[in-house]
């Protein structure tokens, strides 16, 4: 799988975890569309109880997640060229053991991103009225994760956990 697109309707608590083989697991109610290069996964958070876990191969070129207000995401063990999170309202994202460019795309929203205390990151804000606030992170141009806030009138708070 080169490109993976995941759309979640409704407020969710969600773990996206990479695995070293081609294993894919997803909620039973999910709608799946796949071909040799792309995989689209869509499900309604109201159809699943509690924390939802999705397992995909750890390596991909692009992962795109679309989530609603109040969602909590945990991204771990992923090696992707780019991970895009398209979010509405307020979201919380925790990353662990990922190597990727991470784009957070919002209009008038607020995201809190938690990174491991030893992770080196670089940050960039694009768009009008966006602001990135950092606390306790190690900024570095030679980073494993390049974080970019896109959209407008949004805030991305980055802290260690």
Q: CA quadruple 81, 83, 38, 59: dihedral positive or negative?
A: positive
User: What does the pLDDT look like over 91-102, one tens digit per residue?
Assistant: 999 999 999 999
User: What does the pLDDT look like over 41-81, one tens digit per residue?
Assistant: 999 988 887 789 999 999 999 999 999 999 999 999 999 99
Domain positions in the chain are 3-160
Query: Running DSSP on this structure, what letter comes out for residue 137?
Result: -
The overall pTM is greater than 0.85: yes
pLDDT of the residue at 120 = 87
- Using a pLDDT cut of 90, give the percent of the chain over it: 76
Q: Of 5-9, 59-63, 141-145, which gets the smallest average pLDDT?
A: 141-145
Residue 75 to residue 64: CA distance in whole angstroms:
12
User: What does the pLDDT look like over 126-139, one tens digit per residue?
Assistant: 999 999 999 988 77
- Computed on alpha carbons and rounded to an integer, the radius of gyration of the chain in Å comes to 15
Residue 2 to residue 36: CA distance in whole angstroms:
8
> Strand, coil or helix: what is 123?
strand
3-state secondary structure string across 10-62: CCCEEEEEEECCCCCECCCCCEEEECCCEEEEEEEHHHCCCCEEEEEECEEEE
Residue 70 to residue 98: CA distance in whole angstroms:
23
């Amino acid at each position: 799988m080169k490109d993976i697109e995941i759309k979640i309707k409704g407020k969710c608590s969600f773990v996206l975890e990479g695995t070293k083989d081609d294993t894919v697991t997803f909620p039973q109610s999910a709608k799946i569309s796949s071909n040799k290069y792309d995989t689209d996964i869509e499900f309604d958070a109201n159809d699943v109880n509690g924390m939802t876990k999705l397992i995909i191969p750890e390596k991909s070129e692009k992962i795109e997640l679309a989530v609603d207000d109040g969602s909590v995401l945990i991204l771990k063990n992923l090696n992707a060229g780019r991970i895009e999170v398209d979010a509405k309202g307020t979201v919380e994202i925790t990353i662990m053991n990922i190597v990727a460019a991470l784009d957070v795309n919002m209009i008038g929203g607020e995201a809190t991103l938690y990174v491991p205390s030893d992770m080196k990151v670089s940050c960039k804000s694009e768009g009008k009225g966006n602001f990135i606030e950092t606390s306790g992170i190690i900024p570095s141009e030679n980073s494993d994760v390049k974080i970019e806030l896109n959209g407008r009138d949004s805030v991305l708070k980055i802290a260690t956990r």
